[in-house]
Amino acid sequence: MMTNVIKAKNLSVGYGTNVLLKNADFEVKSGDIFIIMGGSGCGKSTLLKVLTGLVEPLDGSFDLLGADFLQINESERQELCRKTGILYQGGALFSSMTLAENIAMPLTQYSSYSQKTIDELVGLKLALVGLRGYENYYPSEISGGMKKRAGLARALALDPQIVYFDEPSAGLDPVSSARLDELMLEINENLKTTLVVVTHELQSIFAIGTNSIYLDASTKTITAKGNPKELLTNPPNERVAEFLTRGKK
């Protein structure tokens, strides 16, 4: 079953008069690993903020999981947000809570699980990201890559349908970065989660991406869409070709 989980219609994104993206149309299908590519400063993080409701778009609308995100009221939005998870660049863990408490927080807030089940779930999620045994550590006591994985465990806590990633491999060594890619693939495959990923990492893009858009800073539009591997063999324009080959063409 291939339904759209996100459908952007004529979406314009920016801050005040600073327009970053004009009249964008794109769809993210259920089960996709959807890559948002583009040069630095072209508005990828901002687009992610719009899709997660942190920033209002300048114009246009988008459907999230079948609901028109800009029309629904606050409580319906919160309801939808529970079906999505976000992994921020630095993990964005709550520094005064242990990893276990961080992951348990959305569960205690939004689910009817018993404490015992929550404890078990926390252990399971941590094991899933390879952090079993770190339950009682504070975020300041673990490394950057571990924070990222812990953040992913928290994003996955409520079994979301969509998980957003903002530059997941930034600041990771090649091996950890590859492992994170594998983890994302496993999650996508086994939990049937749709992943929306902002990344510059070409290796990741080709390894995991099933669909993608390329945001062009100069024209402020989407200049390429499709499977990244196909875009590489058949680039629609110069700049995409340059991006996908690290400027070698």
Partner 1 sequence: MEMLSYKLTQNTLDIVLSGNYVLQNLPDSLPEMFLQNKISEIHIDGAFLKTWDSSLLVALTYFKEIAKKQNLHITFANLPTGVQKLLELSEASAPHLRHSIAPRADFLTRFGDFGVDIFRRIIKGTRFTFDNLKTFFCSFFKTMSTRRVDFLFALDTCGPSALPIVLLISFMVGLILAFVGAVQLQTFGAQVYVASLVTIGMTRIMGAIMVGIIMAGRTGASFAATIGTMQVNEEIDALRTMGIPVNQFLVLPRLKALVLTMPILTMLADFAGIFGGAFVAVLALDIPLSEFIRYAVNAWKLKHFFVGIFHALVFGFIIALSGCYFGIECSRSADSVGKSTTNAVVYGIVWMIVATGLITLVLQRLGI
Q: What are the DSSP calls for 110-152, one per residue?
A: H----HHHHHHHHHHHHHHTT-TT-TT--GGGS-HHHHHHHHH
Binding residues for ligand ATP restricted to 20-79, rule: CB under 6 A: 20, 38, 40-46
Footprint on this chain of partner 1 (rule: CB under 8 A): 94-96, 111-114, 116-117, 120-121, 123-125, 127-134, 136, 138-140, 156, 159, 186, 189-192
Query: Closer to ligand ATP at the Cβ: 40 or 190?
Result: 40
Asked if residue 239 binds ligand ATP (CB under 6 A), the reply is no
Q: Which does 227 bind (CB under 5 to 8 A by kind): partner 1, Mg ion, ligand ATP, none?
A: none
SS3 of residue 1 by DSSP: coil
Query: Closer to Mg ion at the Cβ: 45 or 193?
Result: 45
Query: Closer to partner 1 at the Cβ: 51 or 131?
Result: 131
Cβ–Cβ < 8 Å for 152, 186: no
Q: Which does 111 bind (CB under 5 to 8 A by kind): Mg ion, ligand ATP, partner 1, none?
A: partner 1
Pairwise CA distance, residues 246 & 171, whole Å: 19
Q: Which does 80 bind (CB under 5 to 8 A by kind): Mg ion, ligand ATP, partner 1, none?
A: none
Least distance (Å) between residue 239 CB and partner 1: 35
Helices (H) and strands (E) in the chain, counts: 9, 10
Query: Closer to ligand ATP at the Cβ: 15 or 94?
Result: 15
Asked if residue 45 binds Mg ion (CB under 5 A), the reply is yes
Pairwise CA distance, residues 188 & 211, whole Å: 13
Query: Closer to ligand ATP at the Cβ: 17 or 112?
Result: 17
Angle of helix 115-128 relative to helix 99-110, nearest 10 degrees?
Answer: 130
Distance set, CA 76 to CA 9, 62, 68 (Å): 20, 15, 10
In sequence order, the 6+-apart residues with CB closer than 8 A to the CB of 206 are 228, 229, 232
Among 42-50, 77-85, 172-180, 207-215, the segment contacting Mg ion (CB under 5 A): 42-50
Q: How would you write 215-233 as a 3-class SS string?
A: EECCCCEEEEECCHHHHHH
Among 12-20, 37-45, 68-76, 93-101, the segment contacting Mg ion (CB under 5 A): 37-45
Binding site for ligand ATP (CB under 6 A): 15, 18, 20, 38, 40-46
